[in-house]
Amino acid sequence: MIRDSHKQQGNRRKLVALLQEKGIKDKSVLEAIGKVPRHLFLNSAFEEHAYEDRPFAIGAGQTISQPFTVATQSELLQVEKGMKVLEIGTGSGYQAAVLYAMGIKVFSIERIKELYDKTSKLLPKLGYRVKCFYGDGNLGVPTWAPYDRIIITAGAPIVPEGLLGQLKPGGIMVIPVTEGDSETMKTITKQADGSVVVKEHGTFRFVPMLEDKHDLR
């Protein structure tokens, strides 16, 4: 049973209004955030705060991203229904669920086993048919490549070369690149000749992307 009370639905509508005030314009993004029950993606201890525009701890030292960050990244992806999107950093599964609700075929990879185990069970239980993988997102998911879009939801020290190779020509990667003690949100558009166009979209905060393969838990 999916628990989604009138109060939670009301709080969700208020969150959507807040995101609009903060500058999110894409209707399909706002609609998806209006539909996905964020309270089911976080620890029940935080449930009553689920529709505040804040990140929360999800275990293993990781966080569910702030709704404004999820909305911004989803908008910057400029998706069309039916596109194939690869997400690096499944975490709670909330971002993946929002993309799924936008009509996207979502592939998502997570590096921490505990989170992969939990979220790969939760998503289908809630009706989100996202393909989940356990492994190092720096290497992408070559089996299902190429992707129309790639979204990275952890702070990346560099743009992983291998990931660019899994992006279709004309495809867009949305990546928070660590610069000092925060992340600069960047879009990287791959041209037909393989060259890239990089644009910046403001400053955000992310947990760092895990680098060392030996760190695998």
Instruction: Write out the catalytic residue numbers.
Output: 65
187 binds ligand SAH (CB under 6 A): no
75 binds ligand SAH (CB under 6 A): no
154 binds ligand SAH (CB under 6 A): yes
User: If we measure between CA atoms, which residue out of 132, 44, 56 comes closest to residue 89?
Assistant: 132
Nearer to ligand SAH by Cβ, of 62 and 120: the residue is 62
Alpha helices in the chain (DSSP H): 6-21, 27-35, 67-76, 94-101, 113-125, 161-165
89 binds ligand SAH (CB under 6 A): yes
**Shortest gap between Cβ of 74 and ligand SAH (angstroms)?**
11
Q: Which two tokens stand for residue 148?
A: 């129309």
Of residues 64, 83, 86, 167, which one binds ligand SAH by CB under 6 A? 64
User: If we measure between CA atoms, which residue out of 189, 204, 121 comes closest to residue 159?
Assistant: 189
Of residues 74, 95, 120, 187, which one binds ligand SAH by CB under 6 A? 95
Question: Residue 56 to residues 85, 94, 102: CA-CA distances in angstroms?
Answer: 24, 12, 23
Q: Which stretch binds ligand SAH (CB under 6 A): 1-9, 99-107, 130-138, 177-185?
A: 130-138
Which residues in the chain belong to E strands, given as ranges? Answer: 56-59, 62-64, 84-88, 105-110, 131-134, 147-152, 167-179, 182-190, 196-204
Identify the bridge partners of residue 151 per DSSP, sorted by sequence position.
87, 174
Of residues 153, 163, 176, 183, which one binds ligand SAH by CB under 6 A? 153
Which residues in this chain contact ligand SAH in the complex, by CB under 6 A?
Answer: 62-65, 88-89, 91-92, 94-95, 109-112, 115, 136-138, 153-154, 207, 209-210
